[in-house]
């Protein structure tokens, strides 16, 4: 058996396929190696070109010096529309969108371009359509020259979808923010995920304060109700509208209608809920006004019917008393018993007349009268009736002509005067003001029975003990009285109510315990052929502004009205329920307030005290006071110094806008002028 000899490489031997091939020179060895390397390179290039050509993405190679195309694949030809020959005659700038050429030039000059790079740009196809592409470029050597291999991914459809999704999201966000109802969404842990602008207005928190935080609006008394609502959402059930209460940032509660529905993810699983809240506070207030009005109407109808029947009985009693009296006189034997019966019948007849006045079934004889003149005429009698310890002050401004029965108007003043006297057992002041006012649509929204228009206001203010809320709600009801038995029938104010309503007017009461009472009567103004300057002023555009206004008012309706009117005029409006609430708001937020619009008489802290506290920090703060009491009463009681501007309720949107602009601009009546004017009115 022969031995297999394998010479060393140094001796010129190579093992190929298990056989020994002996080369007798190193030159042959080098040639073989070169052929093998060329074979491998050609095979690698063949495979590379195959992958290049069959790549589904548009792919090309360009010269890094001339930027000319060196090669393009079939996908590039198909996607861009140029033939291969057209591509090879162009540079990469020829397919670049013209506006993007400067950016491409700058990118090619970056040192980092020697490595793999990625960018998003726009390309132009042969039909001049523009596509968005993601470009990935890699350094390569092509036919011995430096080049870059580029893969282009068309993302036009994806970017269009992203834009449409973004637009849809922006539209939904805009719709949610524009929605007139509060919309709130939470996740499964009751953390807030959505909070629109109406939610900010209704509850007081901004979106930045609540997003991602636990839902803050659940009042302690509503915990169980919220737990039931959350269980329904988890089970995937909708909850139709029902009434409940939710908490505001200032701690107050708001009545709302709530509708809720579950939110699901892509897998159809419940991962949260969304609720719509409708503020029904104003609706409930109007419903309460309507119920009160309907109650008074019903009581009035009953009183009218009773008075009618009672008058029939009294007629029989009085006629028979006259017969008996005549018979007694004929016999010359007068009877005290008959006189007592006749006196009682007369007093009963007076009561029935009051009942008829309340039920608005008495006969009126209206004519055009000057309310100020009627007031001046009845003043001497009022002074005698009320006594020397009660000062009677008259004030009048503007055209105060109305269509009314002067006798009934005098009865109104007498009844209100007597009622004020009983509230001031130790003396005081009774102020009667008459002036022209406008009740506009905004005021009519607060008082559902009011027809917008011009009225003569007749305000009767006392400095007595005032009334609490319960008393105010029942003050016009027949036979309601806070006096001890034997000191009143409870028909005085109900008679006033009936006369005013039968005359086509309205009456409201403003009162706080310890702060006296103001009755405001609004009678339709009797117009002549020439309209006064107030009408021309009312239709002028309302002034705008961009300053910050802090509205401090304990009545929700007034705060809402002020926020709506001033917000529409461009002001930034903040709200607080009373003085202490306003101080806390300013302290916590650090907001720079340009104007303080505050009620004077409020619980916890009044307007004057609030102004003193805020001006200790900002002496330049501008102030506009407002009150349902008249400005003269505020001045006399020391609740207003007469130097700061004053806005009397009710006010119109125009009056509010003008007063705010005037206060911000620094226009106000001087203290001395106002006090001297008040002194002249008092003397008259």
Q: What is the pLDDT, as a whole number, of residue 304? A: 54
Contact 409, 375 (CB under 8 A): no
Q: What is the pLDDT, as a whole number, of residue 219? A: 84
Q: What is the pLDDT, as a whole number, of residue 59? A: 92
Highest mean pLDDT among 30-44, 321-335, 553-567, 637-651: 553-567
Tokens of 604: 């916890």
Q: What is the pLDDT, as a whole number, of residue 602? A: 81
* Strand segments (E) across 559-673: 572-576, 595-599, 622-627, 646-648
* Strand segments (E) across 35-144: 59-63, 69-72, 117-124, 130-142
d(CA 64, CA 118): 16
Q: What is the pLDDT, as a whole number, of residue 9? A: 40
Average pLDDT over residues 269-287: 79
What pLDDT digit, counting tens, does each position of 467-476 carry?
Answer: 888 888 777 7
Geometric angle at alpha carbon 535, from 530 and 539, rounded to 5° = 140
Higher pLDDT, 285 or 210: 210
Comparing 280-294, 454-468, 501-515, 636-650, the range with the smallest average pLDDT is 280-294
Comparing 132-136, 359-363, 575-579, 626-630, the range with the smallest average pLDDT is 359-363
22 pLDDT more than 50: no
409 pLDDT more than 70: yes
Average pLDDT over residues 292-300: 56
46 pLDDT more than 70: no
pLDDT band (50, 70, 90) for residue 397: confident
Average pLDDT over residues 18-42: 54
DSSP code at position 137: E
Higher pLDDT, 521 or 385: 521
Paired residues of 522 in beta bridges: 457, 506
Average pLDDT over residues 487-491: 49
pLDDT band (50, 70, 90) for residue 94: very high
536 pLDDT more than 50: no
Tokens of 220: 């302690």
Q: DSSP assignment of 373-442, as one string?
A: HHHHHHHHHHHHHH-TTEEEEEEEES--EEEE-HHHHHHHHHHHHHHHHHH-TT-EEEEEEEEEEEE-HH
- Could you write out the three-class secondary structure of 159-221? HHHHHHHHHHHHHHHHHHHHCCCEEEEEECCCEEEEECHHHHHHHCCCHHHHECCECCCCCHH
Q: What is the rounded average pLDDT for all residues in the chain?
A: 77
Average pLDDT over residues 134-152: 87
| % of the chain at pLDDT higher than 70 | 72
Q: What is the pLDDT, as a whole number, of residue 3? A: 39
Q: What is the pLDDT, as a whole number, of residue 224? A: 87
Geometric angle at alpha carbon 289, from 649 and 254, rounded to 5° = 85
Q: Count Cβ atoms below 10 Å from residue 212 Cβ, excluding itself.
A: 9
What pLDDT digit, counting tens, does each position of 198-229 carry?
Answer: 899 889 999 899 999 999 998 888 888 888 88
Contact 550, 587 (CB under 8 A): no
Task: Sheet containing 453-462: give its strands across.
Answer: 390-397, 428-439, 453-462, 517-524, 506-511
Nearest Cα to 437, choosing from 467, 459, 404? 459
Comparing 103-112, 258-267, 558-567, the range with the smallest average pLDDT is 103-112
Which residue pairs, CB below 8 angstroms and at least 24 apart, start in 534-539? 534/398, 534/436, 534/438, 534/454, 535/454, 537/654, 538/438, 538/652, 538/654
Contact 596, 611 (CB under 8 A): yes
Higher pLDDT, 11 or 168: 168
Q: How far, in Å, are 279, 332, 356 from residue 292 at the CA level?
A: 21, 56, 19
* Strand segments (E) across 620-683: 622-627, 646-648
Q: What is the pLDDT, as a whole number, of residue 650? A: 63
Average pLDDT over residues 291-310: 56
What pLDDT digit, counting tens, does each position of 652-665 carry?
Answer: 677 788 889 988 88
């Amino acid at each position: 058996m022969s031995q297999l000899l394998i010479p060393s490489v140094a001796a010129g031997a190579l093992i190929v396929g298990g056989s020994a091939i002996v080369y007798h020179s190193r030159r042959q060895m080098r040639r073989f190696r070169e052929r093998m390397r060329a074979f491998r390179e050609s095979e690698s290039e063949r495979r590379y070109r195959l992958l290049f050509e069959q790549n589904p993405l548009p792919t090309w190679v360009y010269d890094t010096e001339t930027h000319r195309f060196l090669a393009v694949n079939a996908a590039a030809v198909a996607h861009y529309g140029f033939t291969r020959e057209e591509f090879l005659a162009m540079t990469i700038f020829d397919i670049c969108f013209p506006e993007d050429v400067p950016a491409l030039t700058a990118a090619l000059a970056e040192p980092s371009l020697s490595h793999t790079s990625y960018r998003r740009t726009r390309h132009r196809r042969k039909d001049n359509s523009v596509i968005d592409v993601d470009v990935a470029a890699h350094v390569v050597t092509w036919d011995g020259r430096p080049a870059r291999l580029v893969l282009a991914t068309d993302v036009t459809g994806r970017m269009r979808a992203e834009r449409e999704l973004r637009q849809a999201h922006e539209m939904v966000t805009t719709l949610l923010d524009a929605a007139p109802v509060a919309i709130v969404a939470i996740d499964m842990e009751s953390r807030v995920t959505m909070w629109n602008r109406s939610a900010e207005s209704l509850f007081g928190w901004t979106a930045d304060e609540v997003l991602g935080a636990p839902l803050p609006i659940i009042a302690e008394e509503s915990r169980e109700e919220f737990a039931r609502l959350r269980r329904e959402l988890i089970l995937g059930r909708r909850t139709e509208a029902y009434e409940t209460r939710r908490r505001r940032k200032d701690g107050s509660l708001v009545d709302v209608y709530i509708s809720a529905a579950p939110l699901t993810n892509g897998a159809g699983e419940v991962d949260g809920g969304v609720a719509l809240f409708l503020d029904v506070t104003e609706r409930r207030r109007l419903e309460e006004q309507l119920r009160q009005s309907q109650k008074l109407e019903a009581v009035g109808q009953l009183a009218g019917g009773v008075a009618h029947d009672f008058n029939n009985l009294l007629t029989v009693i009085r006629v028979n008393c006259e017969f008996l009296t005549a018979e007694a006189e004929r016999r010359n034997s007068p009877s005290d018993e008959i006189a007592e019966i006749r006196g009682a019948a007369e007093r009963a007849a007076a009561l029935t007349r009051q009942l008829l006045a309340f039920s608005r079934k008495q006969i009126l004889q209206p004519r055009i009268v000057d309310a100020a003149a009627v007031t001046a005429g009845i003043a001497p009698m009022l002074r005698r009736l009320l006594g020397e310890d009660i000062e009677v002050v008259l004030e009048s401004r503007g055209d105060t002509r109305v269509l009314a029965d002067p006798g009934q108007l005098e009865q109104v003043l007498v009844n209100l005067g007597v009622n004020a006297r009983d509230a001031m057992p130790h003396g005081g002041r009774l102020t009667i003001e008459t002036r022209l006012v406008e009740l506009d649509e905004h005021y009519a929204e607060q008082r559902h029975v009011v027809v917008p228009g011009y009225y003569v206001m007749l305000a009767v203010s006392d400095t007595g003990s005032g009334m609490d809320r319960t008393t105010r709600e029942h003050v016009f009801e027949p036979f309601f009285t806070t006096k001890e038995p034997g000191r009143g029938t409870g028909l005085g104010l109900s008679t006033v109510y009936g006369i005013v309503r039968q005359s086509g007017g309205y009456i409201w009461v403003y009162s706080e315990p310890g702060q006296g009472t103001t009755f405001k009567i609004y009678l339709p103004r009797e117009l002549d052929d020439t309209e006064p300057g107030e009408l021309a002023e009312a239709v002028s555009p309302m002034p705008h502004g961009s300053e910050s206004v802090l509205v401090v008012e304990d009545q929700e309706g007034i705060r809402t009205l002020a926020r709506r009117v001033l917000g529409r005029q461009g002001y930034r409006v903040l709200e607080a329920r009373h003085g202490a609430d306003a101080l806390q708001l300013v302290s916590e937020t650090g907001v720079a307030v340009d104007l303080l619009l505050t009620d004077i008489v409020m619980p916890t802290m009044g307007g004057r005290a609030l102004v003193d506290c805020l001006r200790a920090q900002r002496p330049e703060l501008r102030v506009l006071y407002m009150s349902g009491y008249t400005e003269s009463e505020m001045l006399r009681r020391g609740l207003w110094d007469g130097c700061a501007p004053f806005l009397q309720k009710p006010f119109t949107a125009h009056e509010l806008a003008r007063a705010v602009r005037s206060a911000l601009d620094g226009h106000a009546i001087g203290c001395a002028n106002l006090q001297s004017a008040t002194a002249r009115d008092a003397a008259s």
